[in-house]
């Protein structure tokens, strides 16, 4: 864990000096030892005595989700309690399963923990005494080890121990933020991104926002893009993405249409003078071309066909291109104004190169026609990855790609439609780390995500999940030592989470900080009882809505 470092204050010193009797006396003993976890016996009377302690960590000691410690030689072993059950045959009356978290050295004079590290080198033996973990112990355990970190909340059950995320480990190995609708997922995502932006004002973050929620949260600190100002040139698409937009057939007809489009698209790209300078280009090369050139080439090729072939496939592709070109909803991408070579400007704008004090670009795709939303996200994601590959000879500029509603774009096999966006995001998950591309996935349905993608996320931040299938899916993706924490996922309160993986020292339960109203996303649930008790202005509101609806503009 990586909380903020604080100066030592008198309260902390007095707290350490006046360790309660409860902390010094055992609460149970070890029964059985196994590699990752073990069984212990707890004394019910001692747990009741601890429950009234003024230290909240001692008061919860022995309960499910709490931490306990075991002395092994001259060090302390820390463990998390996973389960409890009554057992009349053992002294004390309670059997509990524990998961080992790590170990720390013991100060000879005070008995306090210092130098905490993940993993276990020496195991205790059956019969070893078990003690409550105090707030002073937890403060040492969650103290930053010097790596760059951002504070995000408070460690449960304490009120003052700060919880943070190691930035390099969080972003270097990808992360996922999971939580059911209404748990505060969007606000928590905004909090984490705000803290990263504050820590790295020259960063490069691209966020795909499918509902337009985050525009409000980052209107002062982010670069906002939507269909009105995105101006994404159509010629940036590779051949596969062209096929998704221009080809509507399936089966053998689709293969025929693809062959025709590949031949004509390459000819259209070859007409640009850039192609002459470069010599060899492919159908995937991001070389500008005119849509009118493409339709003219299709027309000319159709005139050359022999009697054995039909002109229908040519007409199909040509009419689809003309239909999209004439549709005002597609103007943000297929406008005739976007034929100039603006690739460098577009990449600089979207990837924040330079950041100019606004390290995050929010791309609101809620206004994009639903038929091509996944293609637009695929192009943006692929550009991030391709840029990283082709800029390896330059100074590395890592880019974080954050994808909200990730299950829509990287669906599991049973929901997959074979779209290019799923393939490119899966590739970023597997290979992005090598090239400096980090992936942040935000989703309310982790069980609908492609299985391999979640397993590639080094840090998992899980808020409350109400669905059994989602809970099981997340448990399978998390390390064994975090299982005790995971059992509490259904019982988390709003804006609480379990974090485990590379971004924290050990698995941890965190209560997120409150975010200022001006920095929150527009994702608050409407109050039915309040809004349905007011009246006035409905007629004008309907008229204005109809105007925007007809104009297809907000």
Q: Which residue has the higher pLDDT, 275 or 187?
A: 187
Sign of CA dihedral 358, 360, 365, 366: negative
CB of 140 within 8 A of CB of 113? Answer: yes
* pLDDT at position 3 over 70: no
**Taking residues 266-282, what's their average pLDDT?**
87
CB of 221 within 8 A of CB of 194? Answer: yes
pLDDT at res. 204: 95
**Taking residues 25-34, what's their average pLDDT?**
90
* pLDDT at position 443 over 70: yes
Tens-digit pLDDT profile for residues 118-146: 778 888 999 999 999 888 888 878 776 67
| 137 token code pair | 């112990």
Q: Which residue has the higher pLDDT, 5 or 314?
A: 314
Tens-digit pLDDT profile for residues 178-214: 999 888 899 999 999 999 999 999 999 999 999 989 9
pLDDT at res. 307: 47
**Taking residues 377-406, what's their average pLDDT?**
93
Of 238-242, 357-361, 521-525, which range is least confident? 521-525
Q: Which residue has the higher pLDDT, 3 or 198?
A: 198
- What's the predicted TM-score (pTM) here? 0.86
Q: Which residue has the higher pLDDT, 18 or 302?
A: 302
**Taking residues 261-288, what's their average pLDDT?**
90
Q: Which residue has the higher pLDDT, 481 or 303?
A: 303
pLDDT at res. 460: 92
* pLDDT at position 19 over 60: no
Mean pLDDT taken over the chain: 86
pLDDT at res. 497: 92
> CA-CA distance, 381 to 237, in Å (whole number)?
11
Residue 122 neighbours by CB under 8 Å, 6+ apart: 72, 73, 75, 77, 103
| 107 token code pair | 């100060």
**Taking residues 507-517, what's their average pLDDT?**
90
pLDDT at res. 294: 94
* pLDDT at position 6 over 50: no
Confidence of residue 11 (pLDDT cuts 50, 70, 90): very low
Residues in a beta bridge with 178: 443, 462
Q: Which residue has the higher pLDDT, 8 or 79?
A: 79
DSSP string, 225-259: E-TTT----GGGS-HHHHHHHH----HHHHHHHHH
Confidence of residue 356 (pLDDT cuts 50, 70, 90): confident
**Taking residues 230-247, what's their average pLDDT?**
94
pLDDT at res. 385: 95
* pLDDT at position 305 over 80: no
Phi, psi for residue 323 in degrees, rounded to 5: -65, -45
pLDDT at res. 15: 42
pLDDT at res. 37: 67
**Taking residues 246-251, what's their average pLDDT?**
89
**Taking residues 58-66, what's their average pLDDT?**
85
* pLDDT at position 504 over 50: yes
pLDDT at res. 488: 79
* pLDDT at position 5 over 60: no
Of 69-78, 305-314, 435-444, 496-505, which range is least confident? 305-314
Give the H/E segment covering residue 319: helix 312-326
Q: Which residue has the higher pLDDT, 345 or 148?
A: 345
Confidence of residue 81 (pLDDT cuts 50, 70, 90): confident
Q: Is 429 helix (H, G, I), strand (E, B) or coil?
A: helix
pLDDT at res. 484: 67
CB of 444 within 8 A of CB of 185? Answer: yes
Q: Give me the residue label for tokens 């993940």.
A: 118
Confidence of residue 347 (pLDDT cuts 50, 70, 90): very high
Neighbours of 512 (CB within 10 A): 20
* pLDDT at position 547 over 60: yes
> CA-CA distance, 460 to 513, in Å (whole number)?
18
Q: Which residue has the higher pLDDT, 182 or 399?
A: 399
* pLDDT at position 478 over 80: no
CB of 136 within 8 A of CB of 15? Answer: yes
């Amino acid at each position: 864990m990586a909380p903020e470092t604080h100066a030592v204050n008198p309260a902390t010193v007095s707290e350490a000096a006046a360790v309660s009797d409860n902390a010094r006396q055992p609460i149970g003993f070890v029964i059985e030892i196994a590699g990752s976890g073990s069984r212990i016996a707890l004394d019910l009377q001692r747990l009741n005595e601890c429950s009234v302690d003024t230290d909240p960590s001692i008061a919860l000691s022995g309960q499910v989700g709490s931490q306990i410690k075991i002395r092994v030689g001259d060090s302390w072993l820390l463990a998390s309690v996973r389960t409890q059950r009554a057992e009349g045959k053992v002294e004390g009356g309670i059997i509990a399963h524990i998961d080992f978290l790590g170990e720390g050295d013991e100060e000879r004079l005070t008995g306090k923990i210092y130098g905490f590290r993940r993993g276990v080198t020496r195991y205790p033996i059956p019969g070893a005494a078990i003690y409550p973990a105090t707030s002073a112990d937890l403060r040492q355990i969650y103290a930053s080890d010097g790596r760059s970190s951002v504070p995000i909340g408070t460690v449960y059950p304490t009120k003052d121990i700060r919880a943070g995320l190691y930035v390099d480990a969080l972003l270097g190995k990808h992360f996922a933020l999971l939580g059911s609708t209404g748990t505060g997922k969007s606000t928590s995502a905004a909090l984490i991104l705000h803290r990263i932006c504050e820590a790295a004002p020259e960063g490069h973050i691209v966020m795909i926002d499918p509902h337009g929620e985050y525009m409000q949260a980052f209107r002062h600190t982010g670069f906002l893009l939507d269909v009105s100002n995105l101006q994404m040139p159509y010629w940036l698409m590779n051949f596969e993405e062209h096929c998704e937009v221009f080809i509507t057939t399936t089966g053998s007809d689709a293969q025929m249409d693809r062959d025709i489009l590949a031949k004509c698209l390459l000819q259209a790209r070859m007409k640009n003078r850039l192609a002459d300078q470069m010599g060899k280009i492919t159908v995937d090369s991001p070389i500008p071309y005119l849509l009118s050139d493409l339709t003219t080439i299709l027309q000319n090729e159709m005139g050359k066909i022999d009697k054995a072939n039909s002109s229908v496939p040519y007409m199909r592709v040509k009419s689809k291109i003309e239909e999209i070109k004439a549709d005002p909803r597609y103007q943000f991408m297929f406008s005739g104004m976007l034929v100039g070579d603006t690739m460098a400007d577009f990449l600089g704008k979207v990837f924040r190169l330079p950041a100019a004090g606004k390290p995050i670009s929010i791309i609101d795709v809620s206004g994009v026609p639903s038929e091509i939303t996944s293609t637009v996200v695929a192009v943006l994601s692929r550009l991030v990855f391709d840029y990283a590959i082709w800029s390896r000879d330059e100074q590395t500029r890592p880019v974080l790609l954050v994808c909200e509603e990730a299950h829509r774009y990287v669906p599991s096999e049973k929901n997959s439609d074979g779209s290019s966006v799923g393939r490119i995001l899966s590739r970023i998950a597997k290979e992005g780390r090598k090239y400096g591309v980090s992936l942040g996935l935000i989703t309310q349905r982790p069980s609908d995500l492609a299985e391999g993608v979640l397993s590639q996320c080094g840090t998992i931040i899980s808020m409350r999940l109400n669905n059994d299938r989602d809970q099981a899916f997340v448990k399978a993706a998390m390390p064994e030592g975090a299982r005790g924490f995971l059992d509490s996922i259904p019982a988390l309160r709003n804006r609480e989470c379990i974090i485990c993986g590379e971004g924290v020292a050990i698995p941890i339960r965190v209560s997120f900080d409150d975010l200022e109203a001006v920095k929150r996303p527009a994702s608050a649930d409407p109050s039915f009882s309040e809004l349905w008790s007011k009246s006035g202005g409905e007629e004008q509101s309907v008229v204005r809505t109809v105007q925007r609806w007809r104009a297809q503009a907000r």
